[in-house]
């Protein structure tokens, strides 16, 4: 066990954890943040996507030692992040959620996309979300939700 310090959703965290504890296990089992989901465990499904220093990462392929000193943002960050809150509301109003298992990863990947590409085309949204699988929705409403969120973001920043 080593002492690990990092920032989680804006707050400093220190935990004793094995160097090779996976971030997804650290979040869900050790810290009780169960919003991030594990799907495939090999980086193919996107359900565990979180942001580390603003970039998207698969929490199933990230070790505790890698996040020392980093800023980690999970879906629980929607409580304080306007962008995550906007996306969450847009997913709800557009019916972009069915079983919901992929949704936290979808929203984190969408946030990573909108930070780099604030006004994406539908094609760019599909490209940007191509690492996140959803077996329920058929994706159309997810794309709708992100497009609408980007539009609101644009309208608010233009004010």
Partner 1 sequence: MTRVIMPETLESLWDAMTAAPEARLFCGGTDLLVRHRREGGGSLIGIDRIAALRGIRYQDGDVVIGAATRFSDILEDPLIRAHLPVLARGVAALASPTIRAMASIGGNIVTASPAADSLPALTVLSARLDLASPNAHRTVALREFITGSHATGLRPGEIVTAVRIALAPRPALHHAEKVGQRRMLSGTLVSLAAVIAMDDDGRIEQASLAFGNLGPTVLVSVEAEAELIGRRLDRDALAAAGVAVRRAARPQDDVRASAAYRLRLAGNLLFRLLDPKIPIVAEKYKGRETAE
Where along the sequence are the contacts to partner 1 (CB under 8 A)?
18-20, 22, 41-44, 46, 49, 55-58, 61-66, 68, 109, 112-113, 127-128, 130-133
Matching residue, tokens 């979040």: 27
Question: Looking at beta carbons only, is 41 or 141 nearer to partner 1?
Answer: 41
As a whole number of angstroms, the distance between CA 126 and CA 79 comes to 26
In the complex, the smallest distance separating the C-beta of residue 156 from partner 1, rounded to whole angstroms, is 24
**Contact by Cβ (8 Å): 13, 31:** yes
Question: Looking at beta carbons only, is 44 or 121 nearer to partner 1?
Answer: 44
**Contact by Cβ (8 Å): 79, 61:** no
In the complex, the smallest distance separating the C-beta of residue 76 from partner 1, rounded to whole angstroms, is 19
**Contact by Cβ (8 Å): 12, 5:** yes
As a whole number of angstroms, the distance between CA 87 and CA 132 comes to 15
In the complex, the smallest distance separating the C-beta of residue 57 from partner 1, rounded to whole angstroms, is 6
In the complex, the smallest distance separating the C-beta of residue 153 from partner 1, rounded to whole angstroms, is 19
Question: Looking at beta carbons only, is 34 or 55 nearer to partner 1?
Answer: 55
């Amino acid at each position: 066990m080593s002492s690990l310090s990092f920032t989680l959703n804006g707050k400093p965290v220190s935990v004793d954890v094995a160097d090779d504890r996976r971030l997804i296990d650290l979040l869900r089992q050790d810290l009780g943040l169960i919003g991030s989901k594990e799907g495939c465990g090999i980086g193919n499904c996107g359900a565990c996507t979180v942001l580390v220093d603003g970039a998207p990462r698969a929490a199933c392929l990230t070790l505790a030692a890698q996040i020392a000193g980093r800023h980690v943002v999970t879906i629980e960050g929607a409580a304080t992040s306007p962008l995550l809150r906007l996306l969450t509301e847009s997913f709800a109003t557009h019916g972009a959620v069915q079983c919901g298992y992929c949704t936290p990863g979808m929203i984190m990947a969408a946030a990573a996309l909108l930070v780099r590409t604030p006004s994406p085309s539908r094609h760019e949204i599909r490209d940007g979300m191509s690492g996140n699988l959803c077996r329920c929705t058929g994706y159309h409403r997810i794309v709708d939700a992100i497009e609408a969120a980007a539009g609101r973001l644009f309208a608010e920043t233009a004010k």
